[in-house]
Chains A and B, each alone.
Chain A
Amino acid sequence: MLSAILARNGHSRSLPLLANVSRRDLLRGTVSAGAFVLAARFLPPEAAQAATFYRVGGEDMPNGLVYDPHVFVAIEPDGTVVIVAHRSEMGQGARTSLPMVVADELEADWSRVRIVQAPGDEPRYGNQDTDGSRSMRHHIQSMRHIGASVRHMLEQAAAQRWQVPKSEVRAELHKVVHRPTGRSLDYGELAQDLKAMPAPSREEVQWKDPKDFRYIGTGKIAIYDLRDITVGKAIYAHDVRVPGMKFAVVARPPVVGARIRSYDASRALAVPGVERVVEIPGSDIGAKFAPLGGLAVVASNTWAALKGREALAIDWDRGPHAVYDSAEYEKRMRELARKPGKVVRDQGNIEEAFARAAKVFAAEYYVPHHAHVTMETPAAVADVRDGRAEIWASVQSPWGTRQDVAKLLGVSADDVTVHVTLLGGGFGRKSKCDYVLEAALVSREIGAPVQVLWTREDDIRHGFYHTVSLERLEAAIDSDGRVIGWRHRSVAPTILSTFDASAQHQFDIELGMGLVDNPFDIPNMRMENPPIEAHVRIGWFRSVSNIPRAFAIQSFVAELAHELGKDPKDFLLELIGPPRHIDPVAAGIQDKLWNYGESLDVYPIDTGRLAHVVRVAAEAIGWGRKLPPGHGLGIAVHRSFVTYVATAVEVAVDEKGRISIPVVHTAIDCGFCANPERVKSQIEGAAVQGLTLALYGNLTFANGEAQQSNYHDYPVARLSDAPKVVHTHIVPHPFEVPASGVGEPGVPPFAPALANAVFAATGKRIRDLPLAKHDLRRI
Chain B
Amino acid sequence: MGVRLIVNGHEHDLDVPPEMPLLWVLRDVLGLTGTKYGCGIAACGACTVHVDGRAERSCVLEVGSVAGKRVTTIEGLDPAGEHPVQRAWREMNVPQCGFCQTGQIMQAAALLAENPKPSDEDIVQALDGNICRCGCYERIHAAVRLAATGV
Contacts and interface: CB of A to CB of B under 8 A. Distances in A.
Contacts of B68: none
A511 to B, nearest CB: 29
Contacts of B96: 91-93, 681-682, 685
A272 B134 contact: no
A232 B86 CA distance: 10
A720 B93 contact: no
A168 to B, nearest CB: 40
B138 A684 contact: yes
B135 A241 contact: no
Nearest to A229: B98
B124 A689 contact: no
B36 to A, nearest CB: 7
B36 A241 contact: no
A90 B97 contact: yes
Interface in A646-686: 677, 681-682, 684-686
Given A232-B35, A375-B100, A711-B39, A681 B136 contact: yes
A441 interface: no
Given A301-B29, A712-B43, A376 B97 contact: yes
A223 B135 CA distance: 16
Interface string A360-393: 0000000000000111110000000000000000
Nearest to A453: B37
Interface in A84-104: 89-93
Contact of B124 (A233, A691, A719): A719
Contact of A375 (B123, B124, B132): B132
A717 B135 contact: yes
A423 interface: yes
Given A376-B97, A681-B93, A719-B124, A233 B134 contact: no
Interface in B39-76: 39-41, 43-44, 46, 73-75
A681 B98 CA distance: 12
Residue from A91, A235, A719, A725 having most chain B Cβ neighbours under 10 A: A719
B75 A684 contact: no
A8 interface: no
Category for how many chain B residues contact A: 35 or more
B64 to A, nearest CB: 13
A630 to B, nearest CB: 19
Interface in A454-469: 455-456
B131 interface: yes
A719 B81 contact: no
A737 interface: no
A718 interface: yes
B90 A374 contact: no
Contact of B40 (A239, A300, A375, A456): A456
B54 to A, nearest CB: 19
Contact of A226 (B28, B93, B129, B134): B93
Category for how many chain A residues contact B: 35 or more
B9 interface: no
Interface in B115-151: 123-124, 127-141
A422 B133 contact: no
Interface in A252-309: 272, 300-303
B3 interface: no
B98 A234 contact: yes
A520 to B, nearest CB: 30
A117 to B, nearest CB: 14
Contacts of B131: 375, 711, 716, 718
Contacts of B128: 718-720
Nearest to A680: B93
A222 to B, nearest CB: 6
Nearest to B80: A231
A625 B5 CA distance: 60
Contacts of B95: 91, 223, 225-226, 229-230
Given A230-B105, A231-B75, A232-B75, A711 B43 contact: yes
Residue from B99, B132, B138 having most chain A Cβ neighbours under 10 A: B99
A710 interface: yes
Given A230-B89, A232-B102, A712 B41 contact: yes
A716 B131 CA distance: 8
B93 to A, nearest CB: 6
Contacts of B81: 227, 230-231
Interface string B75-90: 1000001000010011
A67 interface: no
Given A226-B93, A231-B74, A241 B134 contact: no
Interface in A407-436: 422-426
A723 interface: yes
Given A227-B81, A424-B97, A719-B130, A241 B43 contact: no
B17 interface: yes
Contacts of A239: 27, 33
Contact of A229 (B41, B46, B101, B127): B101
B44 A711 contact: yes
Residue from B39, B74, B139 having most chain A Cβ neighbours under 10 A: B39
Contact of B21 (A89, A91, A225, A303): A303
B135 A688 contact: yes
Nearest to B43: A711
B57 to A, nearest CB: 12
Given A222-B93, A425-B97, A91 B134 contact: yes
A757 interface: no
B20 interface: yes
A687 B136 CA distance: 10
Contacts of A730: none
B129 to A, nearest CB: 8
B98 A241 contact: no
A247 interface: yes
Nearest to A20: B33
13 contacts: A89-B97, A229-B98, A229-B102, A232-B33, A238-B33, A375-B133, A422-B97, A456-B40, A456-B44, A681-B139, A684-B138, A685-B96, A718-B131
Given A302-B28, A377-B37, 16 more contacts: A90-B97, A230-B86, A231-B74, A235-B33, A302-B37, A375-B132, A456-B40, A681-B136, A684-B136, A686-B135, A688-B135, A689-B135, A711-B44, A711-B131, A712-B41, A718-B128
Interface of B: 17, 20-21, 24, 27-29, 31-41, 43-44, 46, 73-75, 81, 86, 89-90, 93, 95-102, 105, 123-124, 127-141
The 9 closest A-B pairs by CB, nearest first: A232-B34, A688-B135, A424-B99, A91-B97, A91-B96, A232-B74, A229-B98, A239-B33, A722-B137
